[in-house]
Chains A and B, each alone.
Chain A
Amino acid sequence: MMDVNSTKQEMVRLDAVTKLYGSFTALHETDLSIRAGEFLTLLGPSGSGKTTLLNAVAGMTMPTSGHVWIDSQDVTAMPPEKRGLGMVFQSYALMPHMTVFDNIAYPLKVRKTPKQEIKKRVTNVLELVRLPDLAHRKPKELSGGQQQRVSIARCLIYNPRLILMDEPLGALDKKLREQMQLEIKRLHNELGITMVYVTHDQEEALNMSDRIMLMNGGKAEQIGSPHDLYFKPVSQFAADFIGQSTMLDAKVLEAGDPCILDLGTSGQCKVKAPGANKNQSGKLVLRPETLRLITNDQLPDGFNALSVRYKDSLVTGGTTKYIVELENGTEMIVQELTTPEEAARRHEGQLFAAWPVEAGIFLDQ
């Protein structure tokens, strides 16, 4: 019973999908399961295989091997028009010779919907994406944000079970992006459509997703919630790609709980790393907001501390980023709440960067 239920709720499944272009492997063997109603983001640098994966789901790319399932149906060899999906492109992909109305009505005309109903549904969906009376304009007369709303409306109008978005906000400026992120998130919550979203912007991925699949070099690096990816990165790539962090060369001096790391000339520290072995080398990852700047006599229990020199500070409103330097010249970023005494810190000669033992992450790969 449980099994039947869980397969019913699965919208997309990739079974050992690969894609080769000649001798170049765009996508290594990948398995993925996407729940119905989920917002999944494929995140990664360009050339990491995220668009290849998206195209395999859309049907624009035929996988070299493996199977794609949508709604418990093997669609590997099915042409895109039979899959019942929606897709939003970075370039909007609106038909330039048609008005906004005709663009949005296109999928309904394909489905031979009666004219009366088309008119009603287009009007409704234009309201849903909050576009004022622009139905009779040509796409060229709209702003980038408005064009992307039209292309989202064009997807929503035929109620596809799955919407794919390929860097939809890539061409918009920062403010508009943030506004559109909220808009897409709102539509996802209101309509409960499964969405697969491609982006190279980690902030966007963290903002919007239920789950993120981080990709690198045609492989899945890590799949998990934004929280998991931020606090429990499985690799140095993941730690570096998501969020800001300081990475220090480290070697395990003594395994155990906590184990002791040798940070070279900078000193030693404790870290929770149950799997680590003696003499293993890797990196210690520290997030800026887990670090504190203190003077010598303030070191609390259960904290690590390294001696640092003050270099610079950036007040970014409510928080301040301090750039400090370790003995060996490595820079660290420390983020603290901005206090009226901020300016005084620069003059407090001897400083230490401190962090709770459980905040450090040791990664050997």
Chain B
Amino acid sequence: MERRSIWRRANAAFAVAAMIFLLLPSLIVVPMSFSDSELIIFPPKEYSFHLYERYVQEPGWVSATILSFRVALWTTILSICLGVPAAYALVRGQFPGRRMLAMFLLSPIMLPSVVLALAFYIYFVRISLSQGELRLVLAHCVATLPFIIVTAAAGIQTVDANIERAARIMGASRVYVFRTVTLPLVIPSIVAGALFAFLISFDEIIISIFVARAGDETLPIKMYSSLVFEVSPVLAAISTMLTVMSALICILVTFVQKSEAKP
């Protein structure tokens, strides 16, 4: 009994230590972002919103943020439009090659990002697609599609297929059943998937660097180049904002999934 509780405590202590180790780098940036200094130092000597003001005033930061938002938004919309019907077909459909198709659609998770990035680069040049934002959206969409498919498929699996059968026998077409029965029941899963897709697209950098054109700097690209050329302390402010955004989205996902378990 005594020994057991010692083990349990040791276990808990280890878990907490691991968590601190993983979280510390992101948390250390937070106080740094309120620094008054022009240099990245820890701990800061004086606190102010100086770096946040610079983020707004310096050219390029806000426009990069807006571009990232736009790309993430279109990516999310496009991958929902493609991923949800695909998930439905994979869960409910009975056709030869279903498993192969599932593997294929999920393969972007398994491939190294660099490989995907290079493939997109070559492919876009080949088909002479020069519109930078469209390039970003299409490439990001392939990378986020697996997440939408996995979450939507998990949601669809929890819907009793007999409910859909019953609705069809009552005279509703496949499309009508999907719209009035399946979709309302899987909305929470789709929202969770969409939030993840948005987040992934928003801070995706490897693929973006390969496919973006000179004028199209997404926020992560701009951050990276500013790190390479000048090590601007504004980065601490941006990182803090990104951390807050990620945390909010994760909280939102948890909340959405909780409401899904309710109905």
Q: Are A97 and B166 in contact (CB under 8 A)?
A: no
> A164: which B residues are within 8 A, CB to CB?
169
Contact A97 B168 (CB under 8 A): no
Contact of A81 among B160, B162, B171, B185 (CB under 8 A): B171
Closest 4 CB pairs of A and B: A107-B170, A93-B166, A93-B162, A87-B169
Q: Are B167 and A97 in contact (CB under 8 A)?
A: no
Whether the Cβ atoms of A110 and B185 lie closer than 8 Å is no
A91 within 8 A of B: yes
Q: Which residues of B contact A111 (CB under 8 A)?
A: 171
Residues from chain B with Cβ under 8 Å of A155 in the complex: 170
Given contacts A95-B181, A96-B185, A97-B263, contact A89 B168 (CB under 8 A): no
In the complex, are the beta carbons of B160 and A107 less than 8 A apart? Answer: no
**In the complex, are the beta carbons of B185 and A97 less than 8 A apart?**
yes
Asked whether any CB of chain B lies closer than 8 Å to the CB of A58, the reply is: yes
Question: In whole Å, how far is A206's beta carbon from the nearest beta carbon of chain B?
Answer: 27
B54 contacts chain A at the CB level, 8 A cutoff: no
**Most B Cβ at <10 Å: residue of A96, A138, A140:** A96
Contacts A89-B162, A93-B162, A94-B163; is A154 near B170 (CB within 8 Å)?
Answer: yes
| A238 contacts B by Cβ under 8 Å | no
Tell me if A91 and B165 are in contact (CB < 8 A): no
Query: Residues of B contacting A79 with CB < 8 Å?
Result: 168
Cα separation A329 to B184 with both chains bound (whole Å): 63
Minimum CB–CB distance from B210 to chain A (whole Å) comes to 43
Give the contact-size bracket for chain B.
10 to 19
Interface residues on A, range: 20 to 34
Residues of A within 8 A of B11 (CB): none
Task: Let me know if A86 and B167 touch, CB within 8 A.
Answer: no
* Between-chain CB contacts (< 8 Å), 21 pairs: A58-B165, A58-B169, A60-B165, A79-B168, A86-B169, A86-B170, A91-B160, A91-B162, A93-B166, A94-B163, A95-B167, A96-B263, A97-B185, A97-B263, A106-B167, A106-B180, A110-B170, A110-B172, A110-B176, A151-B166, A154-B170
Knowing A86-B170, A87-B169, A111-B171, the reply to whether A93 touches B160 (Cβ < 8 A) is yes
Residues of B within 8 A of A138 (CB): 263
> Separation in Å of the A323 CB from the closest CB of chain B?
42
Interface positions of B from 159 to 212, Cβ below 8 Å from A? 160, 162-163, 165-173, 176, 180-181, 184-185
Whether, in the assembled complex, A69 has its beta carbon less than 8 Å from a beta carbon of chain B, the answer is no
B163 touches A93 (CB 8 A): yes
- Residue numbers in B under 8 Å from A47 (CB-CB): none
In the complex, the answer to whether B170 meets A93 with C-beta atoms within 8 Å is no
- In the complex, whether A158 has a CB less than 8 A from a CB of chain B is yes
Q: Point out the residues of chain A lying under 8 angstroms from B168, CB to CB.
A: 79-81
Given known contacts A60-B169, A81-B169, what 4 new A-B pairs fall within 8 Å (CB)?
A87-B169, A151-B166, A158-B170, A164-B169
> Is the CB of A184 closer than 8 A to any CB of chain B?
no
Inside 8 A of A87's CB, which chain B residues have their CB?
165-166, 169
Point out the residues of chain B lying under 8 angstroms from A83, CB to CB.
169
**Which A residues are in CB contact (< 8 Å) with B172?**
81, 106-107, 110
Q: Across the two chains, which residue of chain B brings its CB closest to A154?
A: B170
For residue A264, CB closer than 8 A to chain B, the reply is no
B176 to chain A, nearest CB (A): 7
Is A192 interfacial (CB 8 A cutoff)?
no
CB distance from B174 to the nearest CB of A (A): 8
User: A178 → chain B, closest Cβ, in Å?
Assistant: 24
Shortest distance from the beta carbon of B129 to any chain A beta carbon, whole Å: 40
The answer for the CA separation of A155 and B176 in the assembled complex, in Å, is: 18
Q: In the docked arrangement, what's the CA distance between A59 and B263, Å?
A: 30
Q: Measured between C-beta atoms, what is the minimum distance from B209 to chain A in Å? A: 44
Are A85 and B169 closer than 8 Å at their CB atoms? yes
Complex Cα distance, B165 from A103, in Å, reads 14
CA distance A53 to B73 in the complex (A): 49
Annotate A105-118 by CB proximity to B: 1 below 8 A, 0 otherwise.
Answer: 01100110000000
Cβ of A300 within 8 Å of any chain B Cβ, yes or no, is: no
Which of B163, B165, B169, B173 meets A95, CB within 8 Å? B163
Q: Which B residues touch A110, using CB under 8 A?
A: 170-172, 176
Question: Whole-angstrom distance between the alpha carbons of A357 and B175 in the complex?
Answer: 64
- Report Cα–Cα, A87/B166, bound state, in Å: 7
A84 is an interface residue with CB less than 8 A from chain B: yes
By beta carbon, the residue of chain A nearest B170 is A107
Expressed in whole angstroms, the Cα–Cα distance for A89 and B176 within the complex equals 20
Name the residue on A nearest B162 (C-beta).
Answer: A93
Min CB distance, B260 to chain A, in Å?
11
Docked Cα-Cα span, A81 to B178, in Å, equals 14
Beta-carbon contact of B165 and A107 below 8 Å: no
A93 contacts which chain B residues (CB < 8 A)? Answer: 160, 162-163, 165-166
Best-buried of B169, B172, B184, B185 by chain A (most CB within 10 Å): B169
Q: Contact flags (1/0) for B124-166 with A, using CB distance below 8 Å?
A: 0000000000000000000000000000000000001011011
Interfacial chain A residues near B185, Cβ < 8 Å? 95-97
Chain A residues with CB under 8 A of B160: 91, 93
How many angstroms between the C-alpha atoms of A267 and B184 in the bound complex?
Answer: 70
B169 & A80 in contact (Cβ 8 Å cutoff)? yes
